[in-house]
Structure 1
Amino acid sequence: MTRSQRLLALLQAMRGYRAPVTGDALADKLGVSLRTLYRDIATLREQGARIDGEPGLGYVLKPGFLLPPLMFTQEEIEALVLGGRWVAQHGDARLAEAAREAVDKIASVLPAPLRRTLDDTALLVASAREAGPPGPHMAPIRAALRDECKLVLDYRAENGAASRRTVWPVALGFFERVRMLVAWCELRQEFRHFRLDRIAALTATTERYPRHRRALLQEWRAIEGLPER
């Protein structure tokens, strides 16, 4: 590994940590000595990377430092293409088009040998017909998740009971046959799961809910016993 590759690998590694990570952990992850790691961190700081911390306490990369263009391995390309194809099959129209455009952008900057890997990959995604069409509600739900705004749902439960719910959208789950909205329900005062195919009508509002979505997501994960990501 060249020095420039090592510095890029260090940046990539630090981007994966939201909390401070020790020098020992970073050195072990990259397969370098602690002395080399400290020297590389000093170099990155000189180049403008906002790296807070010091030996013994840990380091964290602050937002705002742009990484140079990346080159992908063959397996990374296969993962990106597989993910793009899955979204193109299972997302709403705008999300599907965005997935196709993203793969095209990646393809446009790849050298010829890696471009062939992208074109020739044998990883296929089954048709989404079994799950049914995404429906008209996925795009406004995605917008509400980004903006942290409340939604008003006209919802029909499995037993046929209809209700109107004001919810704080937390996450959107894509399962094999259904799509599921995770949200805090003001009526029930707890997290609830709403199948998109049972939403009869949806009204997007501009009213922001009082807690950050990230905090709500962490709380829901803890309740469900899911690991942090």
Structure 2
Amino acid sequence: MNRVDRLLAMILYLQGRRYSSARQLAEHFSLSERTVYRDLAALGDAGVPVSMSAGRGYRLLADYHLPPVNFSPEEAGALLTGGLLLTHHSGKTTQRHLQSALAKIRAVSSGVNQPYLDMLPQTMVVTATNSGEEELSLLQQAIVQQQVLTFDYCRYLDTAYQHREVEAHGLVFYLQRWHLIAWCRTRQAFRDFRVDRMKALELTTTTFIARPSFSLERYIAKQMPSPTLQGEILLDNTLLDKAKREWWLGLRVITSSEQHSHLELHCHDWHSLAAWLLSLGTKVQILGPVALQQALLAQAAQALRHHQPSE
């Protein structure tokens, strides 16, 4: 990115935030803080009203805005692609907002890009079924405006709903579902709520102060630690692509021949890995450790007893 493009991008970055520190700008643009200071000085010399508040950072004056910026074909294409994927991971309200936003993107794009934008949606299809009817708009509002959220929640392997009152702090998408990370006022602790298990959501007028010690990144790292166990298998190459797509905790190809691949699979426990390996049938051989072999044999024996016809 040349300096002119970077200065424009820096204006857009500041325009979309209340305050930004020199360190945040440096991390975002992969620059040194010294270069950031020079760029901010250059913006000031060019008449861009950048102000600085001690302890808070830099911001643009409230009445300063850049004129509408046209999207390049690649930028518009990236947004259309993201919108197409999001329609399969959100509810109808979020989808409606998304379509409205995409219509505005088309409206501000130059006429040169219109054939590109007209053609692209007709040449892209996502065949996956919608993973849920999660409505994210209300949850996002609860997070940003720091309003207490109430809902009825059904826990895993439970049939009864319990009323919850929470302070929403973040949204995470994993295992094909959206999860709300929130401080539960009932449990007096942070909890992970699967959004598709919520009903009767209501945004209250009660506000809360965000907990300064909370970090969404640290919470995820603590709740989802890196796997510490590794199992080794010999896999038929016809299932190699399947393994790469399905085993989300990570794998590494150690060696590969024409017919088989020697893989290292990362996991948190042998039971989960053994259960998945059973789905691969006879095209997989466990090389180690013994604990993984024993876990698979135990599950296979249990399945045999369960499905074996009674005499």
TM-score under structure 1 length normalisation: 0.70
Residue 217 of structure 2 is matched in structure 1 by: 221
Q: Could you tell me whether the CA contact under 8 Å between 1:88 and 1:100 is conserved in 2?
A: no
Gaps of 5+ in 2: 223-311
- Match for residue 152 of structure 2 among 151, 154, 161: 154
Distance 1:43 1:191, change over 3 A: same
Please give the root-mean-square deviation of Cα atoms over the aligned residues, in Å.
Answer: 4.0
Gaps of 5+ in 1: 54-58
Residue 140 of structure 2 is matched in structure 1 by: 142
Distance 1:175 1:119, change over 3 A: farther
Letter in 1 for 2:22: P
Letter in 2 for 1:8: L
Higher alpha-carbon Rg: 2
CA distance in 2, matches of 1:41, 1:52: 13
Q: Could you tell me whether the CA contact under 8 Å between 1:50 and 1:63 is conserved in 2?
A: yes
Residue 56 of structure 1 is matched in structure 2 by: none
Task: Classify the secondary structure of the residue corresponding to 2:22.
Answer: coil
For residues 47-69 of structure 1, the C-alpha deviation after alignment (integer angstroms, 9 at most, x for no partner) is 4x22439xxxxx83345231222
Task: Classify the secondary structure of the residue corresponding to 1:97.
Answer: helix
CA distance in 2, matches of 1:159, 1:6: 51
CA offset at residue 200 of structure 1? 4.2
Taking CA–CA contacts closer than 8 Å with sequence separation of 6 or more, which of the two structures ends up with the larger relative contact order? 1
Distance 1:7 1:80, change over 3 A: same
Q: Could you tell me whether the CA contact under 8 Å between 2:44 and 2:50 is conserved in 1?
A: no
Q: Could you tell me whether the CA contact under 8 Å between 2:22 and 2:36 is conserved in 1?
A: no
Q: Could you tell me whether the CA contact under 8 Å between 1:90 and 1:96 is conserved in 2?
A: no
CA offset at residue 158 of structure 1? 0.9
Counting aligned pairs with the same residue, the percent is 25
Task: Classify the secondary structure of the residue corresponding to 2:206.
Answer: strand
Counterparts of residues 37-186 of structure 1 (less than 5 Å): 37=39, 40-44=42-46, 46-47=47-48, 49-52=49-52, 60-62=58-60, 64=62, 65-121=64-120, 124=124, 126-127=126-127, 129-134=129-134, 138-160=136-158, 162=160, 163-175=162-174, 177-186=176-185
> What is the aligned length?
212
Distance 1:132 1:28, change over 3 A: closer
